[in-house]
Amino acid sequence: MIKSCPPKLFSGIAGLLIAITLCVSWVDGLALPAGADTTPSGACGISSTSLPVGMVGNPYSATLEAGGGTLPYTWSIVSGALPVGLGLSSTGIISGIPLSARTYSFSVRADDSASHYCTMSISIQVNSNTLADNLTTIQTLLISKSDNLTLANGRLIANQELASADGRMKLKLEAGTVINLQGQSYLGAAVESNPPAATDNTTLVRAYSFIPSGATFAPAATLTLRYESASLPAGATESSLYLAYWSGSAWEKLFSTVNTTLKEVSAPVAHFTTFAIRCPAPSTSPTAPTPTAPSAATGNVTLSANILGTTTAFITSGGVLTSAVNLSSAGGKLSISLADNTTVSLPSGSRQITVIQLASPAAAPAGSKLVEAYSFGPDNTTFHPAVGIAVQYDTAALPADVQEGDLYIAIAENSTWIPLPSAVNPQAKTVSAQVSRFTGYALLGKVTAPPPAPVLTPPPATAAFSTSDLAVSPVSAKAGEQVTVSVRVVNGGTAEAPKTVILKINDRDEAQKQITLAAGKSQVVNFNVIKSEPGQYTVSVDGQSTSFTVKESAAQSRDALSIPILIIIIAGGLLVIILAIVLIMKQM
């Protein structure tokens, strides 16, 4: 009898909400594939009822559980996709660092060892990183060298490379990186004087501790550590060096690149912990060890592609690789690196993975250009831990507006390309990234935009006055007669303003008038002047100058003539009086 169950809504961790739709088709209590035995030996049911909400840039881990079937269970994705940056192991662990905030829907399948299975539809909500969103400045201290990082809306505003004072350590972050410092506003690193002991047959070369522990970067930062050849164990090869991080119980190998010229080892890192350069133990014999035949509990998987050749690797019945596998095309154009003990989950019982180059890939997102794209299959093959893929590029073949330092690998999601934390090795001409599942991947480059045109700020509006056409009328006047002085005032500026026009006569202020002129306008200003004193007068207004003459009036001329006549009359009268007195005295 077939039944169905309605969707249910569950509450997640710490009050966060996650929508999980649980719908399993049951036949007598057991979900079976078409044509399967309808008399089950036991009941199979997925018992996971809640999953934590993810946060962009924060490590994420959740375990799926099932019961009622025959152990062990093998988990896989049957439709949809996990949040970008997460992967599902065959043992049911969803882990990674989510890179994009939204709700992702997918269906998981649990196969038991008796060929029965159950399915469940899940929606995982990934939230934006509000702690990082509110941070604007990060203080850094990398071994005696301080710096500052500036963020806007929780993202780094420019490419930044931090370096220690001795140059032995560098941390490169891309513009747009989301940084979560776990509530802190600083980051730093110091030489680790007492690093954890090795959990494998490797030698530690140099270790550093980074704070705050658990800080995350999305996309991943590129960590580069320098080494000295003299510090390596005898017989060690530099090309075998790699970076590893301390997981709390073991040293985990990172997908690393070695520059033997600069004596540097680099790897993408998505969170802060203790990092170290590690060196595999040198081989004690040049003779290759005799391969050991796999036990009855092991099988093999064929790794092949038209550009990669073919390699066979042995895995356990639980899908775990028994040895590391490095698959590379001729010339190293494309490579895939799987560490030993990697869990490989191939859907539908497939025993072969393939890689082909896409002839008609999806268009590049805005601000980027597509270089080349590949389809890794079977689709939704998953790996735990993630595997490394590397694509080699030709600088001459890159688009003219793409710089090699701006190359990155992206994953196909709903016909769009989502950037992954990527590392560019300009010496090897490769771009690498960690992937936890197979689907479409592309090599893209951010377009280097031309420098923005300078923003021309218009000058503030101001007035600019000038004078011209200074004139007097008449230029020759009689004393007491009115003389008109005229001058044209022009506002050649961009704003209306008042203007005081001052008339000077013989360099002394004579009169002034207040006017207001709009931008681009002019006005003639007149002054009326009366001078009673004859003479020449110099007129000036704002540096313009001219002159006029004042002559005596008719009355002044008559007055000037009457004075001598009066003097003559008075003198004549006095003379007559004197003569009369003289005559009188003679007669006496």
- Cα–Cα distances in angstroms (integers) from residue 152 to residues 149, 178, 467, 562, in the given order: 10, 10, 53, 98
Mean pLDDT of the chain: 78
Helix, strand, coil percent content, the chain, rounded in steps of 5: 10, 50, 40
**Distances in Å between the alpha carbon of 81 and those of 55, 106, 555?**
17, 5, 116
Quick one: what percent of the chain has pLDDT higher than 90? 22
Mean pLDDT within 387-410: 91
pTM for this structure? 0.38
Identify the pLDDT of residue 360: 84
For residue 135, the model assigns a pLDDT of: 67
Distances (CA, A) of 156 to 17, 94, 136, 444, 448: 29, 28, 9, 20, 17
Q: Is the dihedral of CA 212, 213, 214, 217 positive or negative?
A: positive
What pLDDT does residue 562 have?
Answer: 65
With 60 as the cut, is the pLDDT of residue 284 above it?
Answer: no
For residue 506, pLDDT beyond 70:
yes
- At residue 78's C-alpha, the angle toward residues 77 and 79, to 5°, is 100
Distance CA 542, CA 487 (A): 10
Give the mean model confidence (pLDDT) for residues 85-112: 83
Q: What is the pLDDT of residues 197-212, one digit of tens each?
A: 887 788 889 899 898 8
Which of 217-226, 304-313, 512-521 has the lowest average pLDDT?
A: 304-313
Lowest mean pLDDT segment, chosen from 179-193, 281-295, 543-557: 281-295
Q: State yes or no: pLDDT of 538 exceeds 90.
A: yes
Cβ(376)–Cβ(439) under 8 Å? yes
pLDDT of residue 177: 84
- Amino acid type, 413: E
| pLDDT tens-digit map of 346-375 | 775 566 777 888 888 889 988 899 999 988
Taking every pair of C-alpha atoms in the chain, what is the biggest distance, in angstroms? Answer: 192
- CA dist list (Å): 506 to 470, 472, 532, 541, 545: 15, 14, 15, 11, 10
Q: How many CB atoms lie within 10 A of CB 106?
A: 19
Classify residue 47 by its DSSP letter.
-
Domains detected in the chain: 2-128 (2.60.40.10), 131-280 (2.60.220), 342-447 (2.60.220.30), 465-551 (2.60.40.10)
Residue 359 is predicted with a pLDDT of 80
Q: What average pLDDT does the segment 170-177 reach?
A: 88
* Residues 290-326 pLDDT 10s: 433 333 223 555 555 444 555 666 666 567 777 777 7
Window from 425-434, 491-500, 547-556 with minimum mean pLDDT = 547-556
For 459-485, the pLDDT digits (tens) are: 888 989 999 999 999 989 888 899 999
Residues 436 and 384 sit within 8 Å (Cβ to Cβ): yes
> How far, in Å, CA of 43 to CA of 28, rounded?
8
- What is each CA distance from 562 to 407, 565, 573, in whole angstroms? 111, 5, 16
- Reported as a pLDDT band with limits 50, 70 and 90, residue 513 is very high
pLDDT at 34: 33
The stretch 66-71 carries a mean pLDDT of: 84
What's the CA angle centered on 202, arms 200 and 205, to 5 degrees? Answer: 135
